[in-house]
Structure 1
Amino acid sequence: MGFPGTWMTQSESVVYRVVPKCACSTIGQIMYFSDNGTYFDGDIHDATGGMHKWSLDASQPVIERSVRARETYTFTCVRNPYTRILSSFFDKICGIQRNGKRYRGNLVPLLIQKYGIEVGGDDGKGEFDQIASFRRFLLFARDTIRWRRPMEPDIHWSAMAGHVSTLIVNGGRYDNIFWTEKFDQGMQSVLDAIEVKHPVELKKVPRFNESEGHGPKRLHPVEDYFDDLSMHLVYEIYHRDFDLFKYDFENPSNKMPTGEIDLDEVHAKLGD
């Protein structure tokens, strides 16, 4: 199993467990800058040098040694499950990706055929019923996670607890888990705890939001997308995320956390 989705600076100052749709592009670029004094030119997910990634064979023994020894400051970042699944829908399902194509090739045609969703036409710019299509997508997401059909769950909408747990189960431990909704405060707490080659001023960091502009603009408030059935499906998929990371399941319009994350609780509940 190892440590999938784990990145580390080449100086070994900090380890980050990537959670998709939770500011991972921005975090990766900050890590890259802190070591190299410049941002990566392009999408940080495409970088094959300048930082360690578990997906790079040469990085794996370095990351494994560091994480298992628990000698390197380790963190991750999480996001409200309601806004995260909405963002996944507009970016990955409705949007055209960086390569000019639909995400995962035949995924969108399959969703149109089997679940009756609309995505705004071939270019994603046409009008469609966003609320109805999103709710149908939510059924699909639940089917992939609950029954692994019609395909395996995708990393962008599988539960955050699953991503976070892999590092714990394989012998690592988090020093910090912070919220996307309080990003500057959380990221600053990480930077304050580590030594960096190049100081990072968060107020000057560009927002590396790779999904911005991929898909149609969300037309309605978050809460309008979630009726009683949708909320039930969201809780079925993400109940551990709401519980562990202290988000408000009862009120989709409240994206802010309602309490502090208890790291001991996270390690105890995700470490089995």
Structure 2
Amino acid sequence: MGFPGTWMTESESVVYRVVPKCACSSIGQIMFYSDHGKFFDGDIHDSTAGLHKWSQEASQQLIERNVKAHKSYAFTCVRNPYARILSSFFDKICGIQRNGKRYRGNLVPLLVQKYGIEVGSPEDGFEFDQIKSFRRFLLFARDTIRFRKPMEPDIHWSAMSGHISTFIVNGGRYDHIFFTEKFDEGMQHVLNNIKTKKKVNLKKIPKFNESEGHGPKRAHPVADYFDDLSRHLVWEIYRKDFQLFKYDFDDPNNKMPLGEVDLDEVHAKLGD
């Protein structure tokens, strides 16, 4: 199994477990910058050099050796589950991807046909009933996660606890888990605990958001998308995420966590 979704700087100053839709573009670029003094030209997910990634065969032994010996500071980042699933919908289902096509080819036509989802298009200014379509997408996301039908769950909407647990189960241990909603504070905490080759000034780092600008904007407050049934589905899919990462299930409009992450609890509960 190893350490899927794990990135490490070439200097081995720090190890990061990627959680999709949780500021991973910004974090990857900061890691790249901390070694090279410049950002990767393009989307950091496309880089094949300058940053060790588990998906690159040459990096795997180095990452495995480091993580199992806990040689470097290891961290990850989480996000409010309501906001994260909404972001996945607008980016991956409604948006046009950076290759100019729809995400995963036939996925959107399948959703239109089987779930009656509308996504709009750049030509019509993405005009469609966002709330109705999102709730139908949520049903689809639940079906993929609970029943693995009509397809396997996608990394962008599978639970954060699932991503985070593979690192622990295979012998890793986190030193810090911070919140996307308190990004600068959390990332600064990481930087304060590692030695970087190049100095990183977070105030001067731009926000990297690979999903921005190629899909519709959210037209309503977060809570408007979640009726009783939607919230029931969200709890079914993300119960562990709310509990372990201290997010407010009762108020979808409150994006902020209610407390700090208890690392011992995370390791105990996700380590089986």
Q: Check whether TM > 0.5.
A: yes
Q: Letter of the aligned partner of 1:28 in structure 2?
A: G
- Alignment pair present for 1:90 and 2:90: yes
For 2:180, the equivalent position in structure 1 comes to: 180
The number of residue pairs the alignment matches comes to 272
The one-letter code sitting in structure 2 at the alignment partner of 1:210 is E
* Partner AA of 2:27 in structure 1: I
C-alpha distance 50-131 of structure 1, shift in aligned 2 (>3 A): same
Give the structure 2 partner of residue 47 of structure 1.
47
- The equivalent residue for 2:81 is 81
- Structure 2: 5+ residue stretches without partners: none
Structure 2 counterpart SS, 1:101: coil
SS in 2 for 1:127: coil
Measured in 1, the distance between the counterparts of 2:134 and 2:229 equals: 12
Q: In the alignment, which residue of structure 1 is the partner of 2:142? A: 142
Deviation at 1:118, TM superposition (A): 0.4
- Residue aligning to 2:268: 268
How far apart are the structure 1 equivalents of 2:78 and 2:241?
A: 9
Matches within 5 A, 1:75-224: 75-121=75-121, 123=123, 125-224=125-224
Distance 1:123 1:193, change over 3 A: farther
SS at match of 1:39: coil
| Contact kept in structure 2, 1:248 and 1:255, CA below 8 Å | yes
What is the percentage of aligned positions where both structures have the same residue? 78
Instruction: Give the secondary-structure state (helix, strand or coil) at the position aligned to 1:8.
Output: strand
* Contact map agreement 1:124 1:215 (CA 8 A) in 2: no
1:20 corresponding residue in structure 2: 20
Q: In the aligned structure 1, how far is the partner of 2:130 from the partner of 2:241?
A: 25
Q: Is the 8 A contact 1:94 1:124 kept in 2?
A: no
Q: Tell me the secondary structure at the aligned position of residue 58 of structure 1.
A: helix
In structure 2, what is the equivalent of residue 257 of structure 1?
Answer: 257
Larger deviation, residues 94-103 vs 114-123? 114-123
Are the aligned partners of 2:143 and 2:150 in contact in 1 as well (CA < 8 Å)?
yes
Q: Per-residue displacement from partner, 1:7-38 (whole Å, max 9, x unpaired)?
A: 00000000000000000000000000000000
Match of 1:56 in 2: 56
Q: Hey, what's the Cα distance between the residues in 1 that align with 2:130 and 2:26? A: 27
Tell me by how many angstroms 1:71 deviates: 1.4
Alignment partner of 1:72 is 2:72: yes
Runs of 4 or more, structure 1, over 6 Å off, are none
Give the alignment's Cα RMSD to 1 decimal. Answer: 0.8
Question: Shift of residue 260 of structure 1?
Answer: 1.1
Distance of 2:41 and 2:14 partners within structure 1: 21
- Whether contact under 8 Å (2:74, 2:173) holds in the other structure is yes
Q: Distance in 2 between matches of 1:24 and 1:177?
A: 13
TM-superposed deviation, 1:123: 4.9
Offset at residue 126 of structure 1 (A): 3.1
Deviations 1:171-221 (A, max 9, x none): 000000000000000000000000001111111101110001121011000
Indicate conservation of the 8 Å contact 1:19/1:78, yes or no: yes
Matched AA of 1:252: P
Contact 1:18-1:76 at 8 Å conserved across structures? yes
Q: Which residue of 2 aligns with 1:37?
A: 37
Q: Structure 1, unaligned stretches of length 5 or more?
A: none
Deviation at 1:259, TM superposition (A): 0.8
Distance 1:12 1:28 in 2: 14
